[in-house]
Amino acid sequence: MPETPEIETDKLDENIHEELERAGGSFLKAIALSTAIFAAFAAVAALRAGSTVNEALVLKTEATRLQAEASDNWAAYQAKGIKSAVQQASESSWIALGKQPPSSFADERQRYAREQVAIERVAREKESERDKKSAEADHLLHQHHRFANSVALFQVAIALGAVAALTRVRPVWYASIVVGLSGAILFLATRV
């Protein structure tokens, strides 16, 4: 009776290791490919997040400038109202003295009233333009947040892919795929 088994275990052990290496190699390649795809999406999403926030800041700055112009117009509107009130007070003084006020007083008040109408129109246009710029900026900020969230999801997917590669645990890689696809859906659903 032989003391060692007749099956060559060295050859069997070598075949098992080759098969594990081949299977593990394709698994690592799949992880590397999915991670590279998520990294590419993350880079594009980060660029989009940056560009949308920059555009939003430009629009908010423009809205602030328009608000300042509208405020200047409203100040001019009030100044015309004060000038008109001064003209009316001067006219009342003449009347209180029993004299006929100069016709220039009434003419000036009418001119101030006309100027107030024009100034009010310009001020309201500036406010309307301000509101549009501000709303557009708010929309871009909302998009920025969605792009930034998609970047975060891609980063988590990449980290999970690294963990899956190190541990060779398929469920972790599957979680990486699910999180990465969630990031891709969020990225693609964000309209610019």
Q: State residue 72's pLDDT score.
A: 96
Q: State residue 7's pLDDT score.
A: 47
Q: State residue 21's pLDDT score.
A: 62
pLDDT tens by residue, 136-167: 999 999 999 999 999 999 999 999 999 999 99
> What is the C-alpha separation between 108 and 143, in angstroms, rounded?
52
CB-based contact 84:105 (threshold 8 Å): no
Q: State residue 14's pLDDT score.
A: 62
Q: State residue 132's pLDDT score.
A: 97
Q: State residue 11's pLDDT score.
A: 59
Q: State residue 154's pLDDT score.
A: 96
Q: State residue 118's pLDDT score.
A: 96
C-alpha separations of 100 from 8, 66, 85, 95, 140 in Å: 131, 45, 18, 6, 62
CB-based contact 153:186 (threshold 8 Å): yes
Q: What is the mean pLDDT of each run of 10 residues along the chain (192 residues)?
A: 50 55 76 94 95 96 97 95 90 87 89 95 97 96 95 96 92 96 93 60
CB-based contact 180:36 (threshold 8 Å): no
